[in-house]
Structure 1
């Protein structure tokens, strides 16, 4: 007597890597900004003046002599 043949399935998994290349590019722009700063220095000065006046409002009294009839 012979039994029927048993069937077995053996599965082998083979991994294959398929590379997908997606190229990219970056451009760096260095922008130099030049700022022109204009200065206008200004100085200021102050002059203080002082003026004097001597007003002769009559003849000065001479302490050595008494005043005359008209006050001098």
Structure 2
């Protein structure tokens, strides 16, 4: 019996087992499509100009020296004590020469 399985893995356009031959490329004139325009990109360039404006804020300090005078008023006061003593003499019996029983009062200062 004959093996009919052929190996076609090396077969290309030029035939089985042969290397292809390449010709130099031909250059054709360029063709132009209509332009494709992207949206405009926005860029910002900032220019800075420095200006100095002096602001003057004057100030003044006044020192006030206060001399406080404290008038102190004193009111000296003295006290004294007076001791009074009262004596009462009562005659509780009858004297021989008097008939009434009258109390006698004497005030003395000591």
> What TM-score, normalized to structure 1?
0.50
Larger radius of gyration: 2
When you count strand as a share of all residues, which structure comes out higher? Answer: 2
